[in-house]
């Protein structure tokens, strides 16, 4: 019988995270004065132990034992060979996926929410605020806070709050308070509602609200927690790729192609960055971050300095961006509705180390349904973007007659997203492709900011 799953024991789990900052050159984040932001300027937002990780030049960073203890609730996650999908496609490619849907919230997000809750706890913080798009990050942080006895407040993008009510229920079950964003609880939220009372919201708006709620707490015991974009988040997620490398070594395989969906960049970076390290050291591997055509940050946006949030509370970050005022259409992959991309991912795209792809909404659901009917797992709408790219690569391998090895990150299950599948199966979903004029209009906000340098790491 052919081996379908490859496992690691708890003793084989990685004990260190990989820090890509050790191997790339980066433009610094900038303050309102256009000068680089010093770490102490971030202290009202993040605890200093996470700020130190954010800027650390160390290549390998130890994972605390208390973090490992919680991660072993579901880690190591399985590496799975997608035999049925291969057969359905008639491809000579061998397709593997790292299945992150086995975590308590059902996605990769707890890989960073757990260490973030831990570091805040040991720093003396009592409560965390955050934003969430599809609800996966909010669920993950609610779970992590319950593990370490912290309070949790989540601002959930309005369109997802309405589309996915059970995500709110999950957060409440873990003790968190979840509100729709924009809300009337913050100045940022009230300002947005005054301009557009019917706005579907965006991750940028929700970030503004969560940051404001943290920095205006007079007790000083609240901090903000971010589920993507920043380096310490990418760092924590690399446990995915480090596990995958060990699992593939066990069966004598190495990927020709590595794929992950990308909104802010966390699940993609988690799988891909350990392979980026290999690529820097001579390995020939194609690496694709995949985004929606409705929010084409990397494929149509410029590499620019921009705020990570709509209100402009965050420093200016060097990233691919559609402009921080950009509000994507209300598509169902809520976790990918973000105007920017992680600076580390963006830097690697500028260097050609990563090759981004954009896919349409209907193509992603077609891929998701095919995989549900072959592999049996119903995937999150975000994951479907990676699946669509996997299918394209597998069909390309068939045309070329090449036995490629394709590895992708199955970043989460879609059991809380069945309303979207119902709309797709009943023919109610449409494709969204942003008109060029709308993208150009949104990007005008970037003209007043400095331009990042085009750096070369190698």
- What is the pLDDT confidence band of residue 335, given thresholds at 50, 70 and 90? low
Report pLDDT digits (tens) over 208-248. 999 999 999 989 899 999 998 999 999 999 999 999 999 99
Is the pLDDT reported for residue 337 higher than 80?
no
> How many Cα atoms sit within 13 Å of 305 on the Cβ side?
21
Pairwise CA distance, residues 318 & 303, whole Å: 7
Contact between 129 and 435 (Cβ < 8 Å): no
Its pTM surpasses 0.85: yes
Q: What is the pLDDT of residue 85?
A: 98
Name the residue among 277, 282, 339 with its Cα closest to residue 314. Answer: 339
Identify the residue with better confidence: 272 or 201: 272
45, 223 contact by CB (below 8 A):
yes
**Domain 64-106+232-448 bears CATH identifier 3.40.50.1100:** yes
| Of 66-75, 112-121, 397-406, 423-432, minimum mean pLDDT range | 423-432
- Which carries the bigger pLDDT value, residue 13 or residue 444? 13
- Is the pLDDT at 444 greater than 70, yes or no? yes
Give the lowest-confidence range in 171-185, 368-382, 420-434.
420-434
Reading the block at residue 458, the tokens are 């190698």
Q: What angle do CA 24, 234, 151 make, to 5 degrees?
A: 145
What pLDDT sits at residue 1?
58
- Going by DSSP bridges, is the β-strand pair 303-307/60-62 parallel, antiparallel, or unpaired? unpaired
Q: Which whole number is the average pLDDT over 405-418?
A: 94
């Amino acid at each position: 019988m052919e081996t379908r799953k490859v496992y690691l024991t708890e003793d084989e789990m990685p004990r260190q995270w990989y820090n890509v900052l050790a191997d790339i050159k980066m433009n610094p984040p900038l303050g309102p004065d256009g000068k680089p932001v010093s770490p102490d300027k971030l202290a009202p937002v993040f605890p200093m132990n996470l700020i130190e990780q954010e800027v650390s030049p160390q290549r390998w960073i130890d994972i605390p034992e208390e973090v490992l203890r919680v991660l072993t609730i579901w880690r190591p996650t399985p590496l799975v060979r997608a035999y049925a999908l291969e057969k359905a496609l008639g491809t000579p490619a061998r397709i593997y996926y790292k299945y992150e849907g086995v975590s308590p919230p059902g996605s990769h997000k707890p890989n960073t929410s757990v260490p973030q809750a831990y570091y805040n706890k040991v720093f003396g913080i009592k409560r965390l605020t955050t934003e969430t798009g599809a609800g996966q990050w909010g669920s993950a942080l609610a779970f992590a806070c319950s593990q370490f006895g912290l309070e949790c407040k989540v601002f959930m993008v309005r369109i997802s709050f309405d589309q996915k009510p059970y995500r709110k229920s999950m957060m409440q079950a873990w003790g968190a308070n979840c509100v729709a964003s924009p809300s009337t609880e913050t100045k940022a939220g009230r300002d947005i509602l005054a301009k557009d009372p019917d706005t579907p919201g965006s991750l940028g708006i929700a970030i503004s609200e969560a940051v404001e709620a943290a920095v205006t707490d007079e007790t000083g015991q609240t901090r903000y927690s971010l589920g993507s974009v920043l380096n310490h988040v990418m760092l924590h997620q690399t446990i995915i790729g480090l596990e995958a490398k060990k699992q593939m070594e066990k069966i004598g395989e190495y990927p020709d192609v590595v794929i992950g969906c990308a909104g802010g960049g966390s699940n993609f970076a988690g799988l891909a960055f350990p392979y980026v390290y290999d690529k820097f050291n001579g390995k020939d591997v194609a690496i694709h971050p995949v985004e929606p055509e409705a929010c084409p940050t990397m494929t149509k946006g410029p590499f620019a300095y921009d705020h990570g949030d709509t209100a402009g509370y965050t420093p200016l970050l060097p990233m691919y961006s559609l402009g921080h005022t950009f509000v994507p259409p209300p598509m169902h992959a809520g976790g990918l509705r973000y105007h920017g991309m992680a600076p580390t991912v963006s830097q690697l795209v500028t260097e050609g180390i990563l090759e981004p792809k954009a896919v349409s909404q209907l193509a992603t659901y077609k891929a998701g349904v095919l995989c549900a009917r072959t592999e049996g797992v119903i995937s999150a709408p975000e994951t479907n973007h990676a699946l669509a790219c996997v299918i394209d690569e597998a069909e390309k391998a068939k045309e070329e007659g090449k036995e490629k090895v394709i590895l992708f990150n199955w970043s989460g299950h879609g059991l809380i997203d069945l309303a979207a599948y119902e709309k797709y199966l009943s023919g109610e979903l449409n494709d969204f492709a942003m008109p060029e004029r709308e993208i150009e209009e949104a990007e005008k906000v970037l003209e007043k900011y400095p331009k990042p340098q085009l750096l070369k790491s190698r």
